[in-house]
Amino acid sequence: MPAVLFHSPNDSPTEWEKKLREFMPNLDMRIWPDIGDPNDIEFALVWKLPSGNYEKFKNLRCICSLGQGVDHIFTDADLPNQVHIMRLVDPWMAQAMSEWILLQVLRFHRQVPEYEDLEKQLKWKVLPPPETSECAVGILGLGELGRDAARKISALGFKVAGWSRTEKEVQGVECFYGEKQLEAFLNRTKILCCLLPLTPKTTGIINSKTISQLPRGSYVVNAGRGQHVVDTCLLRALDTGHLAGAALDVFNEEPLPSQHPYWAHPKVSVWPHVSAQSNADSAAGQVADAIGKVFSGKVPDNLVSREQQY
C-alpha cells in the first residue's frame, strides 16, 4: 500500500493516525521528518510543510491541506505540476467560525468594550441601546465559511451583505461581487468581517484606501489571514478614530511577536488563530475518502484551483 505523509506544527499526528485508521486500518502514515523511502509517499496531509520538500516525493499524487486554507501550499515555489491540491471542507469548522464571527459582531454591537471600560471605572452608565436591524455587517468572502456566517448573522436580524469574486445569491444577504462593487459594499458596512482566502489578489485588501471607504466608527474583524491586513493602515485608522475597534485571529507573523503594538492596543482584541481549528474527529472521514480515491486512481473531492489559488 502506498504511504501518506503527515506534517503539521499544530495538529497531533497520533490523533490523526488513530482517527484515519478507523476508516483505513492498514494506513501507512509517515510522520515528518521520519518519512522512510520518499518514493512510497503518494498522498501528503500537511500544514506548512517547509518549502522545497515536495520535490523529494517522486510518486506524490495529492497534497491535502490540514485546514480549509491552502495559501501555505502555494507559497512553495517548487510545487510539483501534476499533483492534485485539495483542502478540508468541514461543516464543524464552519460552525466554529460562525460562532467566533458572531461573538465578535455581538461584542461590538452590544458595546462590550465600552461597558467593560465603564466597569473598570466603577461607573454605572447606560449607553443608547443599539438597533440590530440597522447594524450593517459585511462579510468579505462568501465561500464555505462566509456563507454560513452570513446566514447565521442574518438570522439574528442584522443587515448582512457579502462580497465575493463571482456573482452569488444567498437568502437574506445582499450580495456584491468583483472589484467594481467593493467600494459600495464597504460604504454600507459597519462591521467588516474578513473570511477571504489569501491569494495574490486578496493580499493587503484591508488597507488605507479600503478602510477609508468604511463609515467612520466601523469595526474590522479578521479570521482570514494576517496578510489580508496592512497593519500600519489598520493601526493608523484605530488611532485616528476612523475605526472604533478590531478583533484579529490571524496575523502577518504568528505567533504575534510580544512587542507588536496590537497586544497592548486598547481597541484591538488578539486571538491566537483559534476561530476554527482543524479537527480529526470531524474531518478524518473526508480525508480517508480522499486517500482512498487517490490510491485507486480517482480524483478526490474539495480540489482547489491552481489558477485562483483557493
Number of residue whose CB is nearest ligand NDP: 143
Decide: is 69 part of the binding site for ligand OXD (CB under 6 A).
yes
The residues near 128 (Cβ < 8 Å, ≥ 6 apart) are none
Could you tell me what percentage of the chain is helix, strand and coil, using 3-state DSSP and rounding each to the nearest 5?
A: 35, 20, 45
At position 28, the amino acid (one-letter code) is D
Which DSSP category does 173 fall into?
Answer: B
Task: Report the nearest approach of ligand OXD to the CB of residue 287 (Å).
Answer: 13
Decide: is 196 part of the binding site for ligand NDP (CB under 6 A).
yes
- 109 is a catalytic site residue: no
Task: Report the nearest approach of ligand OXD to the CB of residue 116 (Å).
Answer: 28
Pairing state of beta strands 218-222 and 243-248?
Answer: parallel
Q: Which of 273, 284, 288, 300 binds ligand NDP (CB under 6 A)?
A: 273
Q: Which does 199 bind (CB under 5 to 8 A by kind): ligand OXD, ligand NDP, none?
A: ligand NDP
> What grid cell was written down for 76?
512553495
Decide: is 67 part of the binding site for ligand OXD (CB under 6 A).
yes
Task: Report the nearest approach of ligand NDP to the CB of residue 131 (Å).
Answer: 29
Decide: is 245 part of the binding site for ligand OXD (CB under 6 A).
no
The residues near 6 (Cβ < 8 Å, ≥ 6 apart) are 13, 16, 17, 29, 30, 31, 32, 45, 46
Q: Inter-axis angle of helices 91-109 and 280-295, to 10 degrees?
A: 140
* Pairwise CA distance, residues 303 & 310, whole Å: 9
CB-count burial class (<10 Å; 0-12, 13-18, 19+) for 200: exposed
> Of 29-37, 143-151, 231-239, 259-267, which segment contacts ligand NDP by CB under 6 A?
143-151
Q: Which does 223 bind (CB under 5 to 8 A by kind): ligand OXD, ligand NDP, none?
A: ligand NDP
Decide: is 224 part of the binding site for ligand NDP (CB under 6 A).
yes
Comparison of 60 and 247: residue with beta carbon closer to ligand NDP: 247
Decide: is 278 part of the binding site for ligand OXD (CB under 6 A).
yes
Number of residues that bind ligand NDP (CB under 6 A): 31
- Residue 305 β-bridge partners: none
* Pairwise CA distance, residues 159 & 190, whole Å: 10
Decide: is 161 part of the binding site for ligand NDP (CB under 6 A).
no
Backbone angles phi and psi of 9, in degrees to 5: -75, -15
Q: Which spans of this chain sit near ligand OXD (rule: CB under 6 A)?
A: 67-69, 276, 278
Catalytic residues: 225, 273
Q: Which spans of this chain sit near ligand NDP (rule: CB under 6 A)?
A: 67-69, 93, 97, 141-146, 163-166, 195-199, 201-202, 223-225, 249-250, 273, 275-276, 310
